[in-house]
Amino acid sequence: MNLRSGRLKGKMTSDAAQFTSSLDFDQRIFLADIQCNLAHTTMLKEQGIIPEDDADQILQALNELEEEGIDALDIDPSVEDIHMALENYVTSKVGEVAGFMHTGKSRNDQVATDLRLVLREELSTIQAHLLKFISGILDLADRHTETVMVGYTHLQHAQPTTFAHHLLSYAYALKRDYERVKDAYKRVDMCPLGSAALTTTSFPIDRKRTCELLGFSKILKNSIDGVSSRDFISETVSSLSILCITLSKICEELIIWSTYEFGLIEIAGEYSSTSSIMPQKKNPDVAEIARAKCAGVYGELVAILTILKSLPQSYNRDLQEVTPHLWSAVDSSHSLLNITADMLSTTEFNQERGEELAEANFSTATELADLMVKEKKLPFRVAHQIVGRTVSKAIEEGLKPSDINPKYIDMVAQELTGENLKLDGKLVKNALDPKKVVRTRNVIGGPAPEMVEEAISNLREFVDREIK
């Protein structure tokens, strides 16, 4: 049946048909559209809205289509979209009784339902992969609770930490990313079917039944909202964008840490490239591409928000243009997630270099100042000044942290306060030893191995709870 033959004279130009068709990206909702029609037709039949025999024929044709697959459809652009292509298929099988299928239903509630059905699946898979990633990070962290490295602020040496502690900073960020996606899922998992064009229908449809048949948790309670709302899309893509920020930061660190200057990690050959001219090169191309591809996801978010901004309520064809941006964001973030997870889990940490850097550049200075507060009851600001001056003097004189002893500190203390601190030599040595310093940071969230082990086990419990 030609949809246009009633109200309109003739066809769209082929350019206009191509321009407005959603068939390209509708392929993604093909199976969902069958599900949606199956549920709606079943409900129409149960409610006695359409003849039982006709309903059965329609249901059978839909089941056949599911088996035959999308290739059985005529997807010429003049067909407009998957909903019409599918209806045409059913008509070709059962004749014009196929038209009953569209009783009390519109493509407006249908497309909104289909998108939600597909997105539910996508988000479930992304959630599962996020848990797998977190779990992989925990396995890696478990092997590195004693692996000392320097922690950075401003990308300058700051304080000693461990590789495991740093890895857990990724794990916790990813846990929140997971929770955001899980939360977005709740609002994807709502059923607009039965909203019809925008004001429902006078047929006695049973919205609860179609909601149940499609496995949705809730019904969208207002039919205008049912066909207009795409906040489930902007929320999903926002949460994916935030996830991509975490992923891009991980990739960035893999890139920086694998430089000769840092030398902290070795990215696996499988995730590296070489140069066509410089034979010595090992480049972190996968991480670089990943870092860049995240930008595409933010671009999709901005496109989606911009399409939705100021749209009048109810259905506007503009909504169709949101869909390809949604799938692009979903696909990109999903592949970014998987590639980053695999790359990180195969990365080797250079323990020796970690220690070398942690020991080289006064990253333990805070602990030395803390020691003065603890042992000599100096106000922290005074201790800060003495240590700052000590470090500066040591650097001028070409001394290393391990060369600093109580006598050296007292030369500065004397000059600044007129008094000697007479710190205990052993305590000074310990305060300047990155491994020992890390052990003393045993408050919640700190890098002490036992705290990190506890965090690993808490996160493992979280992952196990969520997987089941």
Question: Active-site positions?
Answer: 154, 275
Residue 379 structure tokens: 């106000």
Q: What is the DSSP letter of 51?
A: -
Q: Is 315 in the site for ligand ARG (CB under 6 A)?
A: yes
CB 200 within 8 A of CB 174: no
How many residues interact with ligand ARG (rule CB under 6 A)? 10
Token code pair at residue 345: 């889990």
Structure tokens at 283: 């480049």
In the bound complex, what is the minimum distance in angstroms from residue 58's beta carbon to ligand ARG? 20
Task: Work out how close the CB of 73 gets to ligand ARG at its nearest, in angstroms, rounded to a whole number.
Answer: 14
Q: Residue 132: count other Cβ atoms within 10 Å of its Cβ.
A: 16
| Binding letters toward ligand ARG, positions 267-306, x by CB under 6 A | ----------------------------------------
Residues 6 or more apart whose Cβ sits within 8 Å of residue 459: 134, 138, 168, 171, 172, 175
Q: Which stretch binds ligand ARG (CB under 6 A): 104-112, 236-244, 344-352, 375-383?
A: 104-112
CA–CA distance, 314 with 337 (Å, rounded to integer): 35
The answer for residues whose C-beta is within 8 angstroms of residue 112's C-beta and 6 or more apart is 192, 195, 226, 227, 229
Q: Which of residues 106-135 bind ligand ARG (CB under 6 A)?
A: 107-108, 111
Q: Report in angstroms how near the CB of residue 92 gets to ligand ARG at its nearest.
A: 21
Among 78, 147, 200, 323, binds ligand ARG (CB under 6 A): 323
Could you say whether residue 87 binds ligand ARG (CB under 6 A)? no
**CB of 87 or CB of 367, closer to ligand ARG:** 87
SS3 sequence, 410-438? HHHHHHHHCCCCCCCHHHHHHHCCHHHHH
| Closer to ligand ARG by Cβ: residue 86 or 463 | 86
Measured distance CA(468)–CA(450) in Å, rounded = 27
- Are 284 and 271 within 8 A, CB to CB? yes
Instruction: Give Cα 228 to chain centroid, integer Å.
Output: 26
Task: Pick between residue 317 and residue 377 the one whose CB is nearest to ligand ARG.
Answer: 317
Give me the helices (H) in 309-350, please: 318-345
Could you tell me the smallest distance in angstroms from the CB atom of residue 305 to ligand ARG? 17
Nearer to ligand ARG, 102 or 107 (CB): 107
Minimal distance, residue 96 CB to ligand ARG, in Å: 21
Contact 203, 104 (CB under 8 A): yes
Which residues is 332 bridged to in the sheet? none
The nearer residue to ligand ARG, 7 or 317, going by C-beta atoms, is 317
By C-beta, is 22 or 390 nearer to ligand ARG?
22
In terms of CB distance, is 10 or 279 closer to ligand ARG? 10
Stretch that binds ligand ARG, among 153-161, 298-306, 314-322, 440-448 (CB under 6 A): 314-322
Residue number, 85 or 251, with CB nearest to ligand ARG = 85
Least distance in angstroms from the C-beta of 78 to ligand ARG: 14
Stretch 222-261: interaction string toward ligand ARG, x if CB under 6 A = ----------------------------------------
Nearest distance in Å: CB 323, ligand ARG: 6
Q: Least separation, in Å, of the C-beta of 315 and ligand ARG?
A: 5
- Interacting span for ligand ARG (CB under 6 A) from 10-18, 42-50, 103-111, 449-457: 103-111
161 binds ligand ARG (CB under 6 A): no
Question: In whole angstroms, how close is the CB of 94 to ligand ARG at the nearest point?
Answer: 22
HSE of 226, CA atoms in CB hemisphere, 13 A: 28
Compute the distance between CA of residue 59 and CA of residue 184 in angstroms, rounded to an integer.
Answer: 32
Helix, strand, coil share of the chain (percent; to 5): 70, 5, 25
Site residues for ligand ARG, window 12-41 (CB under 6 A)? Answer: 22
The answer to whether residues 399 and 464 touch, using CB atoms and an 8 Å cutoff, is no
**The two three-digit tokens of residue 213, written as one number:** 């048949």
Q: Does residue 88 touch ligand ARG according to CB under 6 A?
A: no
User: Which residue from 84, 141, 90 is spatially nearest to 110, judged by alpha carbons?
Assistant: 84
DSSP 361: S
C-beta of 241 vs 323, nearer to ligand ARG:
323
- Among residues 125, 157, 137, the alpha carbon closest in space to that of 364 is found at 157
Which region among 64-72, 153-161, 312-320, 326-334 touches ligand ARG (by CB under 6 A)? 312-320
CA distances 362 to 269, 414, 431, Å, are 34, 21, 11
Q: If binding is defined by CB under 6 A, does position 319 make contact with ligand ARG?
A: yes
Q: How far apart are CA 416 and CA 101, in angstroms?
A: 89
Residues lying near ligand ARG in the complex (CB under 6 A) are found at 22, 81, 107-108, 111, 315, 317, 319-320, 323
